Structure 1
Amino acid sequence: MGGDWTMGDLANDVEDLSSMIRYLHHQLGYTVDLIMAHSRGSMVLWMYLSRPEADLKRDLGVQGYVDKLVAVSGRWHMHKVLESYARFQEGFDKQGFYEWNITSAGKKQQYIVWPKDLQAMSELKMPIDNVAKLNTKTHVLILHGTADQLVDQQDAHSYFEAITSN
């Protein structure tokens, strides 16, 4: 489970989410009623919830689905990630990688982004198959800021269209 972070490998993130939910349910006795995720986390959330029912029941218990989910600024058109992160190119050209410095929860963190990882992320399938597998009992709220400069508002509309046709 888990492992080193790479931009294009969401499978580790899905396993981390699965482990966390399983721990909350089985070790602490929580019922996970709602999951809220932002950006990359939204992609992970859709991937997680599209897993086979047996896997979800293993994590969530007998219900096997999450009652509510909130996806904030989730990307739909994955190929556009190359445009959004064009600023990484200078680092790729100079060093062969990009040093991504962020502040999260008040802590400065650095991630190394390799060109192959950004390319892998851009090649992820659009989440239409994941959305189609969502339990129809799950209530969904899609949020997207009008000033978002990384993920186009059209992506939120694409999620909405896929959900309403499910």
Structure 2
Amino acid sequence: MSASSQRKETEIKIPFPSRSDHKIDLAGILSQHDPSSSAVRRPLALILHGVLSHKSQSFHPLLASSLPIDSLRFDFRGNADSPLLEGQEWDMAGFHEDCRDLDAVVEWMEEEYGYQVEAIIGHSRGSLIGWKWMSEAYGDDDLQGGSTVDNEERRWIQKRRQRGAGSGRAPPAWVSLCGRWNMDRIHDRDQVYAEQFKDKGFFEWKAKVAGKQVTARVTPAAVESFASYPIASYVSRYPSHSPPLLIHGTSDETVPSADVGYYINGLSAKHARTQSGTGSTWGQVHLVEGANHMLRGKYDEVVAVIKQWYEAQRRGSSNEDGPQMALEASQEGDVLERSWNETGAGKGKL
């Protein structure tokens, strides 16, 4: 029987915040090449979904079936099959809570199943979470979060660093898809929220998640907190010895594809990201021509790029086509802004 025919997907429950302090379960799907394997420290990929979404959104199932290693995709708290804690409300700007979910998942999969997290792939909000978590766990300096971080969050950051950089292991390969840079562009939606903010003090965001209708509250405070998310700071602290892959659709109606350029600027600004004589760079960018924010109709291309890039990283080889700092002519200039202008800034989603 071939390895592909042996692949099995299993629904699992992950205790949160931990086994010793078990309050709720995070729902996940573990995709395994060979479920009977008992090899210690098997490599694992984690797949992170977007806002008000779920573990099997978009290209995620295809990616799980195509990766050469086992993978886990899971629902963050308040999404699909993962509940909120008692008394907790969903928070549009609750990135620190999402990172704690990721902490619990990493700990459980490594200690209970014997995996070693070797790759993390984050889409949209999952991208924002990944940059924060990677910089805090494996960053180039001892990130403390600044004066605006309370003591509880600082303890989580310190714990993250102890499990990450303190372990002496290389950072997981990191793939960021459709990540937002200009966080204050969330204010493009102010006119959408205005009437309910005035009448109710909050906006009721109605969406369908995994086939079910859900309603989430968006507050003025959450919008301001979202707008001030320090993504530039996290990118500047991202581990320089771990080149990321950035993927973005040129017709993204939610996050303009021009945002990927800001990530390039932030990553390439650190001299340490270019290693003299090796030909390696800060990482790689891949624009998916005509793809929207969910990358619909382009799943095969997206998955193929991630798979090829991951295998190259695992071999320790650089991209054969050379540094990806400069975008091809067909992907320059107006095409980077066309998607935002054609769809209209007022139509932008979260």
- TM (normalized to structure 2)? 0.43
CA displacement at 1:63 relative to structure 2: 0.9
Contact 1:22/1:59, CA 8 A, preserved across alignment: no
- Match of residue 122 from structure 1: 227
Q: Is 1:132–2:236 an aligned residue pair?
A: yes
CA displacement at 1:84 relative to structure 2: 4.1
Could you say what secondary structure the match of 1:33 adopts? Answer: strand
Contact 1:49/1:134, CA 8 A, preserved across alignment: yes
- Match of residue 147 from structure 1: 251
Per-residue CA distance 1:7-62 (angstroms, 9 max, x = gap): 12311111111111121112111121111112222111111111154724526954
C-alpha spacing 1:137/1:156, structure 2 compared with 1 (3 Å): same
Q: Is 1:8–2:93 an aligned residue pair?
A: yes
C-alpha spacing 1:52/1:35, structure 2 compared with 1 (3 Å): closer
- In 1, the alpha carbon distance for the partners of 2:259 and 2:186 equals 12
Provide the aligned C-alpha RMSD in A: 2.3
Contact 1:97/1:112, CA 8 A, preserved across alignment: yes
Corresponding letter in the other structure for 1:35: I
Corresponding letter in the other structure for 1:43: L
Corresponding letter in the other structure for 1:106: G
In the comparison of the two structures, how many residue pairs are matched?
A: 164
Q: Is 1:36–2:36 an aligned residue pair?
A: no
Structure scoring higher RCO (CA < 8 A, sep ≥ 6) equals: 1
Specify which structure has the higher proportion of helix: 1
Contact 1:70/1:140, CA 8 A, preserved across alignment: yes
Corresponding letter in the other structure for 1:133: R
User: Sequence identity, in percent?
Assistant: 26
Contact 2:175/2:246, CA 8 A, preserved across alignment: yes
Q: Is 1:112–2:217 an aligned residue pair?
A: yes
- In 1, the alpha carbon distance for the partners of 2:177 and 2:251 equals 13
Instruction: Tell which deviates more after alignment, 102-111 or 55-64.
Output: 55-64
- Match of residue 269 from structure 2: 165
1:50 aligned residue (122, 128, 135): 135
- Match of residue 108 from structure 2: 23
Instruction: Look at both structures and tell me which one has the larger radius of gyration over its CA atoms.
Output: 2
